[in-house]
Amino acid sequence: MTTLWIEPFGGMAGDMLLAAFLDLDDPRFTLDDLRGLADDLVPGEARLELAEVKRGSIAAKHVSVVTPETSAPPHRHYDELERRISDSALSEAARKNACDVLWCIAEAEAVVHGTTPDRIHFHEVGAIDTLIDVCGAALALERLGVGELHASPPLLGSGTVRCAHGEMPVPPPAVVEILRGRPTRPGGGEGERLTPTGAALLATWTADFTPPPSFLPHAVGYGAGGRDPKDGPPNLVRVQLGESAVDADTRAEAWLMDVNLDDMTPEEIGHAVGALRAAGALEVWTSPLSMKKDRPGVLVSALARARARRALETALFEWTTTLGVRWTRVERTECARRGLRVDVAGVPVRIQVRTRPASEGATAFGERDLAPEHDDVVAAAEAAGLTLREARRRAIDAALAQLG
């Protein structure tokens, strides 16, 4: 599984994370991709530049997003930013990831200023450059195929910072609110190290701040902030792109979601189960329950990666009557898997191939590790006048021959 590890050891802002993604030098996400996104969101309004810089003794990338608003950011509401994202060419998943980050900021600012999220003026974070930072990061996750995301506790900085609300303490109140209940690292010299946008990206896309349990890094990128402070660590965020070390350690973190329901019809339950799958659940299932007043009920359970938890909660509260949800951190022992296609009677049949973890007493790779797609087997059987068993046998034999 493709895994991303974000390390804000010197702080983080939205543009720093974007620069770190670009420093990976991966052809799936480039500066041209980012420029195309900017033209889609705000046609002709943004100029993006990428520079090689040093922070301390470490070489890094620095990305500049310059718009007519950069020197005087306007005050926008969340609804306007959401409309721009909804009208963009981003995928549904990327649009949701970006909107979740902006809504996280709106909720935090609403608590700080004693109002509601829909009435919050976004000030600095309402500027076009922040919109590009957040949407660009969401696009990068998708293009890089990130399936699991981890982050380390971020550095906060100290002292004060001047913003639209005047002189504020570091970390700013919105950052404190966003990271309530999360471990952080105070200090790092005078000045702001973690912005509200950086905090929201971390808090929205990860469930906690822990490193991956097993990790095989393939690429490393460093993203630089605009400052180069003399005190504290370099003003950098590091990202490592790799994979869960399945062959070395097959354990992977997942989150178990449980919710009890006793006032919904079977049709409504079925729709909710489908919505949870569409929101990114690894697995969803139901079990019968006996609930209060001896009413029969249903336990809806799902497994998900940490970054999908918010999406599952959104679907759950949208399509069920529940007042809450339980989350439990679990470990799964997972097999590596890949797909291949074979031909049966002129019909392509997809087959899932699994690789079991090496262990004493395990048998060699073979037929038990091949799973033909049932719908494809049915199509092949109907096309050739075969039984399902015969079509499946031919698909497996073809796969074994292809794999040698």
For residues 185 and 259, membership in a common domain is answered with: no
Q: Based on the fold, state whether residues 329 and 341 are members of the same structural domain.
A: no
For the stretch 366-379, pLDDT in tens is 999 999 999 999 99
In sign, the C-alpha dihedral spanning 174, 121, 318, 90 is negative
pLDDT of residue 177 exceeding 70? yes
Domain extent, residue 318, equals 255-333
Which of residues 33 and 333 earns the better pLDDT score?
33
336: phi then psi, degrees, rounded to nearest 5? -65, 150
Is 108 in the same domain as 203? Answer: yes
Q: Are 316 and 371 in a shared domain?
A: no
Instruction: Say if residue 94 is in the same domain as residue 119.
Output: yes
Same domain, yes or no, for 262 and 213?
no
Contacts of 264 (CB under 8 A, 6+ apart): 272, 298, 320, 321
C-alpha–C-alpha distance, residues 63 and 52, integer Å:
9
Q: What angle do CA 221, 226, 230 make, to 5 degrees?
A: 95
Task: State mean pLDDT over 304-310.
Answer: 87
How many domains does the chain fold into?
A: 3
Residues 355 and 286 occupy one common structural domain:
no
249 in a structural domain: no
Give the pairing of strands 236-243 and 2-7. Answer: antiparallel
**Using CA atoms, how far apart are residues 12 and 156, in angstroms rounded to an integer?**
9
Select from 259, 255, 254, 274 the least CA-distant residue to 325: 259
Return the percentage of the chain with pLDDT > 90, whole number: 63
Secondary structure letter of residue 42 according to DSSP: S
Question: Is the residue at 248 inside a domain?
Answer: no
Contact status, residue 181 vs residue 168, Cβ threshold 8 Å: no
Claim to verify: residue 347 and residue 362 sit in the same structural domain:
yes
Are the beta carbons of 101 and 174 closer than 8 angstroms?
no
End-to-end CA distance of the chain: 25
- Can you tell me the distance from the alpha carbon of 153 to that of 218, in angstroms, rounded to the nearest whole number? 22
In a domain, 125, yes or no: yes
Query: What does the chain come to in residues?
Result: 404
User: Sorting pLDDT into bands at 50, 70 and 90, what band is 341?
Assistant: confident
Give residue 113's pLDDT band: very low, low, confident or very high (50, 70, 90): confident
- Do 173 and 299 share a domain, yes or no? no
Residue 170 lies in a domain: yes
Nearest to 222 by CA among 206, 207, 241: 241
Boundary residue ending a domain (333, 361, 391): 333
Pick from 52, 45, 46, 57: which is nearest to 19 by CA? Answer: 52
Q: Hey, what amino acid is at 238?
A: R
> What's the rounded Cα separation, in Å, for the pair 400 and 353?
10
Please give the backbone phi and psi of residue 24, each rounded to the nearest 5 degrees, phi first: -65, -20
In this structure, is residue 398 part of a structural domain? yes
Residues 6+ apart with CB under 8 A from 24: 144, 219, 220, 221, 239, 241
Domain at 297, CATH number: 3.30.70.1380
Out of 217, 243, 269, pick the residue that ends a domain.
243
pLDDT, tens digit, for every residue of 54-94?
999 999 999 998 887 666 666 677 888 899 999 999 998 89
Q: Give the span between the Cα atoms of 271 and 315, in whole angstroms.
A: 10
Structure tokens at 77: 């509401």
Residues 169 and 311 in one domain: no
Point out the domain boundary residue: 278, 302, 333: 333
